[in-house]
Amino acid sequence: MSYTDRVVICGDAGSTRLFKDGLGAAYVMGKAVAKTALLYGIGRRHFERHYRPAHKKCKILTKGMLGVVAKEQATPERPKRLSSILWDVFTGNERYKNIFYRSLSGPLVVDLLREYGRSGRGSI
């Protein structure tokens, strides 16, 4: 658990994930913490009710991405769409605009949605 009364640990201090969208994850989690503290309170029960769902959703998204990458890497003939995108994000080899357009690939979106569904059911 990364929260208690008057304390929330988020970002890399709360958990480290290799394949996460650092800035996006920081924004989503920071927003959830701030919204909870400002609108509902700073007690453990407030974070449990209002922050935890956002935290849980990020875990499902991370598991889904990892599932797609694992399948791409395990099957030599399979296109490495997400693996390539993540490589370019981590290394800075490509402009974000070009990475964004590649992320709209129909087959990639279908793969991600399937894995998100499996992650949500706890089968990964």
Where is 97: in which H helix or E strand? helix 96-103
* Residue 88 CA: distances (Å) to CA of 4, 5, 20, 78, 95: 37, 40, 13, 18, 8
Domain with 41 in it: 3-120
Residue 77, pLDDT > 60, answer yes
Q: What is the model's pTM?
A: 0.55
Question: Per-residue pLDDT for 64 more than 70?
Answer: yes
CA pair distance 55, 61, nearest whole angstrom: 10
What percent of the chain clears pLDDT 90, i.e. is strictly above it? 44
Count of structural domains within the chain: 1
How many Å apart are CA 89 and CA 28, to the nearest integer? Answer: 19
- What's the CA gap between 108 and 71, in Å, rounded? 12
What is the per-residue pLDDT for 23?
A: 66
DSSP state of 20: -
Confidence band of 12 (pLDDT split at 50, 70, 90): low
Q: What is the dihedral of CA 119, 112, 22, 86, to 10 degrees?
A: 130
Given a cut of 80, whether residue 106 has pLDDT beyond it is: yes
